[in-house]
Amino acid sequence: MDQPAPSSDTAARGLAFEPPGLLELFLAFSKMSLAGFGGVLVWARRAIVDQHRWMTPDEFNEAFALCQLLPGANIVNLAIVFGGRFRGFAGSLAAFLGLLLPPSLIVTTLGVLYSHAGNLPLLQRTLSGIACAAVGLFLAVTVRMMVPLLKRKNPIEIGSMVAVFVAVGLWQAPLVVVLLIALPLSLAVTYLWRKRVAA
Amino acid sequence: MNPGLGTYLNLLWTFGLMSLLAVGGANATLPEMHRVAVDVNHWLTDAQFADMFAIAQFSPGPNVLIVTLIGYQVAGLPGAALTTFAMCGPAGVLAYFVANFFQRASHSFWPTIIQASFVPVSIGLMAAGGYVLAITVDTSLAAVLVTLATALLAAGTRINPLWPLAAAGFLGFMGFV
């Protein structure tokens, strides 16, 4: 294939020669989104790092860590951060629309079907079966994320996790209230803890 | 279904705010979504909420699209579009500006410490979401078993999540769950 002369920087990092264009961004994010049953992250990493070589593994981890830190759906944030890095605002928009437009059309179609046929006992039974497994998948992801935290055995981390679980899960407290208390408190305690450990 | 302007504004405000509160991703807001949609506004019944969750998990795309289904159920197609926009727009704009800022000022002390303190909160929220969903969905012994089996399978293997979902759907179809 004919390629333009690579810039020494991207070539040195083993990356693609050309940054993705707008249409390419839209299509790439549509593809990973439509492949992603039960989560898009795995497919996003595969496409961005392994297939297209748009980012190194470390760059991807850094970008994703930032997206986890920000509020909102992590993968939606990733599309915006990723698109923006290569093509500015238009790039963000292209990746965002690619990620959300095709699957939201599918999900809306399913919603329309549900509102017409949701009362059919057959469909009702099938959906409740699927829901049981879906909750199982969700619990598995939660446990996977929890394991490194439990292994560190930091009493502050485990304490704030349990406190948030009790407030939101068992007491069903409003999220705004819990976050307004939990986030500053957790931040302050972590800060003090690190200073004490460092000292 | 003939929703008024008030309903649209309520959807916009509710999910726009939720978007900015979704620390740790969309999954962490599931308990809040359940509280707002079922307990506060009575948009959905418990069973409908569980159905929406099942459909969203079974469809391709980000799991945040459960809000599209809730929006459709509350206010039809405009509701679906509006709710999706409200849930992804504000957080997306924030992400755009923060990412631009961080590209210039990377690797400072604050991002790591903020992240370290947010992670336990967000996992606590996810656990709460799992708990709320489990008590909503697992109303029989068979249902509990399906949930546990799927959780073990998904935690222990690299199986494509579509398989346990389809198998459980079939079990439900046959009337076992």
A24-69: pLDDT as tens digits: 999 999 998 988 766 687 778 888 888 899 988 878 877 877 787 7
**Euclidean distance between CA atoms A197 and A152, whole angstroms:** 14
Q: Which long-range contacts (CB under 8 A, 24 or more apart) does B76-82 make?
A: B76/B1, B76/B3, B77/A108, B78/B8, B79/B3, B79/B7, B79/B8, B79/B11, B80/A104, B80/A108, B80/A111, B82/B8, B82/B11, B82/B12
pTM: 0.80
Q: Which of B107, B172, B118 is nearest to A135 (CA)?
A: B172
Chain B residues whose beta carbon lies within 8 Å of the beta carbon of residue A180: none
**B123 in contact with A at a CB cutoff of 8 Å?**
yes
- AA identity, residue A191: Y
Proportion of chain B in helix, strand, coil states, percent, rounded to 5? 80, 0, 20
3-class secondary-structure state, position B61: coil
Residue A5 reports pLDDT greater than 50: no
- Given a cut of 50, whether residue B176 has pLDDT beyond it is yes
> Is A137 in contact with B151 (CB distance < 8 Å)?
yes
What is the tens place of the pLDDT at every residue in B103-151?
665 555 666 777 778 778 888 888 998 898 898 888 899 999 999 999 9
Mutate to test the interface with B, among A55, A109, A125, A128 (most CBs of B within 10 A): A128
3-state secondary structure of A37: strand
Separation of alpha carbons B109 and A188, rounded Å: 14
Of A37-51, A125-139, A157-171, which gets the smallest average pLDDT? Answer: A37-51
pLDDT of residue A1: 36
Q: Which of B141, B135, B151, B143 is nearest to B169 (CA)?
A: B143
Neighbours of B145 (CB within 10 A): 16
* Alpha-carbon span A63 to A80, nearest angstrom: 11
Token couple for A192: 């003090």
Terminal alpha carbon distance of chain B: 32
Indicate whether this complex's ipTM tops 0.90: no
Q: By three-state DSSP, how is residue B60 classified?
A: strand
| Interface probe, candidates A107, A110, A122, A147, chain B, greatest B C-beta count within 10 A | A107
Q: Which residue of A has its CA nearest to B1?
A: A115
Q: In whole numbers, what is the pLDDT of chain B averaged over residues?
A: 87
Contact check, Cβ <8 Å, B91/A72? yes
Nearby residues of B72 by Cβ (< 8 Å), 6 or more positions away: A108, A111, A112, A115, B79, B80, B83
Tokens linked to B71: 């929006």
Contact between chains at B62 and A133 (C-beta distance less than 8 A): no
